[in-house]
Amino acid sequence: MEKDSPKQGFLQRLQTKWKLDSLFQVVMVLVVFACTGFTILFIKNPILNFFGVERGGGQGFLNTLLYLLLVLPLYQIFLLIYGFIFGQFRFFWEKEKQIFRRIGKLFSKKTNN
């Protein structure tokens, strides 16, 4: 079957895109994303409340800043934790390294002249 075939299912397209060995591995990666998302859903508000940020309190900038500084890194950590639990640590560790490389490129000086 061709890579862009309309008959190819959603899971097969993800398997190709993520370069995974099996559909089971694709499902496990999706389970990791789901568990991480639910975990962040439950801990986000207590973390923001701890720092005195209330929902709808006119502190949108502070809320966003704290989310980016605290909750987003926790998301990355939970991806690795759940990735380990569900046997997909290597997949998520490679993705984390890609993210850090991209962030590093944003802050590195351009040496091409």
Domain of 52? 10-107
Q: What pTM value is reported for the model?
A: 0.79
28 in a structural domain: yes
Instruction: Let me know: does 32 contact 92? Beta carbons within 8 Å.
Output: yes
113 in a structural domain: no
Number of domains composing the chain: 1
98 in a structural domain: yes
pLDDT per residue rounded down to tens, the chain (113 residues): 445 556 679 999 999 999 999 999 999 999 999 999 999 999 988 887 887 776 665 667 777 887 888 888 999 999 999 999 999 999 999 999 998 888 888 888 665 54
99 in a structural domain: yes
DSSP letter (8 states) at residue 7 = T
Give the SS3 label for residue 112: coil
